Amino acid sequence: MRAAIGAYRPHPAAYAAAAVGLVVALGTGSPAYADETTGGDQSTTQPNTGSGQSDTDSGAESGSGSIGAHIRINQSAPASSGSTATATSSDANWKPPVCWYEPMYTPEEYEKFIKSAYGGAGEPAASYARKRDKENYHKGDKGLWWQVQFRDLTYDEACPVTTDNWEIWVPPADPQPDPNKVTPEILSDLAFNSTKLPTPPVELQPRADRLLVNLGTRVAFKGDLDRVWTTASLDYKGVQLAATTVATPVALKVDAGTADADPQSCTYDLVKGKDGYTADSEGAGCNVTYLRASGSGTYPFKASITWKVTWTDSADPDGPPREPGLPDGLSTFEQDVTVKEAQAVNR
């Protein structure tokens, strides 16, 4: 079963206090890491959090971004030319990972980092540095030091990693993998959390400021949608992992925004045509008829697309779906509508 919010906050207060103590002692919120291009050290003043978002709103053919230290996000360009928004989960209990371990250093790089970043630090950082020195940084062993990375600093759950294991040693054949090591499943969560979906391309006929009591309002679906895929990948120091989420539009739900409507809400199934997925709402039984005027106010009309989300453990969106599954995604369009009595309209 895919982890939910509870798996990511075992001891929030204890973790926060310990993390703050280590940060103060170090004078830095996160260890430096070796730049893969120049080979030099890059010191940071806080954990590398990434944006958690791709930049598909830039108008480029596809979106890209980064999370953590070396995780890359790439997203296909949405078929719709309308606005996009970050996908929301249909499962209110689902949360993306708060933190995870990524490969960062060879033993020699790790020794250099510890002696540079922790030199002269007070407790508890000094004890941490001594512990690593006693381990001789695993010099001569095959493997890498993996370091904790954070999705962002606004999470309301605690990271399960304790500050006495800010980094972990990972041999090539890991006999007991740490549950917080980055995996394709974790990458799929991060990809889903970074996905931007087109908002529903709907148009009200008559338009939103000209609706009349007892006059049918057609919810016209303007345009076609296609699936949206997002890949989260890691390729660093010989460690290669990837996961791709694929969001396929399956249904359009409309909500009139008031109980004084017939129907108050309804759902259209989306069907695949030659240009993508669409809904034919003309003559459909769930076009909205408002039964009461909105008076001096408005009704909050809402349309939302449900997207079936699957994932595969590669950069190929057509790869075989993997388990455990991801929740459905949602994209929403909201609009205030004005409904008047027919006799109040000037002709």
Residue type at position 204: L
Q: Which pLDDT value is given to residue 12?
A: 34
What are 238's two structure tokens? 């010989």
* Residue 67 in this model has a pLDDT that exceeds 70: yes
What is the pTM (predicted TM-score) of this model? 0.81
User: What are the DSSP calls for 248-317, one per residue?
Assistant: EEEEEEEE-SSSSEESSEEEEE-EEETTEEE---TT-TT-EEE-S--TTS-EEEEEEEEEEEEEESSS-T
Of residues 244 and 342, more confidently modeled: 244
pLDDT at position 25 is 38
Q: What is the pLDDT of residues 1-17, one digit of tens each?
A: 454 332 333 333 333 33
Q: Around Cβ 214, how many Cβ atoms within 10 Å?
A: 12
pLDDT exceeds cutoff 70 at 282? no
List, in sequence order, every residue forming a beta bridge with 71; answer none if it has no partner. Answer: 67, 234
Mean pLDDT, the chain, rounded, equals 81
- Asked whether residue 101 carries a pLDDT value surpassing 80, the answer given is yes
Helix axes 125-134, 12-26, angle to 10 degrees: 80
Give pLDDT, residue 295. 94
Cβ-contact 25, 123 below 8 angstroms:
yes
At residue 21, the pLDDT reads 38
Burial label for 325, CB within 10 Å (0-12, 13-18, 19+), is: middle
In three-state secondary structure terms, 24 is helix
Lowest-pLDDT choice from 31-45, 68-82, 205-219, 302-316: 31-45
Instruction: Choose between 28 and 119: higher pLDDT.
Output: 119
pLDDT tens digit sequence for 189-237: 999 999 999 999 888 999 999 999 999 888 888 877 899 999 999 999 9
Q: Provide the pLDDT for residue 110.
A: 97
Q: What is the largest CA-CA distance in the chain?
A: 88
What's the Rg (C-alpha) of the chain?
25
Closest CA to 142 of 103, 109, 171, 177: 171
Side chain identity at residue 15, one-letter code: Y
Q: State how far the alpha carbon of 226 is from the alpha carbons of 132, 147, 229, 243, in Å.
A: 51, 38, 10, 20
pLDDT of residue 105: 98
Q: Which of 25-29, 166-170, 263-267 has the lowest mean pLDDT?
A: 25-29
